[in-house]
Structure 1
Amino acid sequence: MPRIALDDIDHALLALLQQDSARTLAALGELAGLSPSAVQRRIGRYRDAGLIDRTVAVLDPRKAVDVLLAVCTVTLDRESVEAHEEFRARVLANPHVQQVYNVSGDCDYVVILATTGMAHHREVADEVLKSAPNIRRYTTMFVLDPVRTTLTLPTVEPR
């Protein structure tokens, strides 16, 4: 899918939406210098182009009850395209896998697991990682304090 051209107002509106997408069209328009109908048209364009993937409520992990976040590094045994596809399909099928990154360096993937306590973590880690074929090793680091969590992405390169 081709990238859509964005102007300065688009960048401002996307930043506002990433901060709080529950704002009304009127409030967004006031902050971005647009009419509510112009805001609605732009948001529709972002959705049609796939730039806005979905709209969700982001929970604060510090306030969610019994949430255990774990950062797992994973090294695959084989480096074939099929091995990567199989691993990706496995992690994408589990709803407790919050994020997955294919990375460079000492490991192949970083996987963020979100579970409800240690017993649940063990169950999910066993299902997703320990029993998975083609994993040479994985390590787990438990998040002690989620100092900053954000989903905000830059929309424009710094000048």
Structure 2
Amino acid sequence: MTQTTAPRLDRTDRRILAALAADGRLSWRDLAAQVGLSLTPVMRRVRRLETEGFITGYAARFDERRLGAAFSVFVQVSLERQAEEALETFESRIAQAPEIMSCYLMSGDADYLLRVVAADLESYQAFMTGFLTRIPGVARIQSSFALKPVIDRTAPPLG
């Protein structure tokens, strides 16, 4: 097991990350004002944070319900075997499904945890029976329906 070292970020770097996590569309000037730097140093720091992989991209957040994805379902998937080939097959197949918003390889009872969005119960059932159950090697599927989001953060603790 490899151990990762904590990234070396100073207080200003963390303030930049927190400001961008709260609003990724901040102008350079507004960002500089929020973190107490002038324009050029803040631009330089953001570029460095991008180059070093601390910032991996920028994205808009959408209201899934307004876009027709009213149901958020957490799906535990267990495979018949945990051989590398079976894992690769499963992962390549689920990458093709736009309904799958996230997927994690897990320890514990299930091999994978997925977050799936669907318009309604019938749509989810069609997705599950028409797609998920047809992936070779799937042994068990357990679905849990989210009642409401409580916390949905965009960044980990930045200290």
Q: Shorter-chain TM-score: what band?
A: 0.7 to 0.9
Which residue among 76, 88, 102 is the counterpart of 1:85?
Answer: 88
* Superposition deviation, residue 150 in structure 1: 2.3
Matches for 1:10-159 after TM superposition, within 5 Å: 10-61=13-64, 64-156=67-159
Task: Give per-residue Cα distances to partners, 1:14-34, cap 9 Å, x unaligned.
Answer: 111111111111111111121
Q: Work out the CA distance in 2 between the residues paired with 1:90 and 1:16.
A: 36
Q: Would the alpha carbon gap of residues 36 and 126 (structure 1) be closer, same or farther in structure 2, given more than 3 Å must change?
A: farther
Gaps of 5+ in 2: none
Q: Cα RMSD over matched residues?
A: 2.2
What's the TM-score once normalised by structure 1's chain length? 0.84
Gaps of 5+ in 1: none
CA contact (8 A) 2:100 2:117 kept: yes
Task: Give per-residue Cα distances to partners, 1:102-123, cap 9 Å, x unaligned.
Answer: 1111111100001222232223
Point out 4+ residue stretches in structure 1 off by more than 6 angstroms: none
What's the TM-score once normalised by structure 2's chain length? 0.84
Aligned length: 155
CA contact (8 A) 2:69 2:117 kept: no
Q: Would the alpha carbon gap of residues 46 and 75 (structure 1) be closer, same or farther in structure 2, given more than 3 Å must change?
A: same
Identity rate, percent = 28
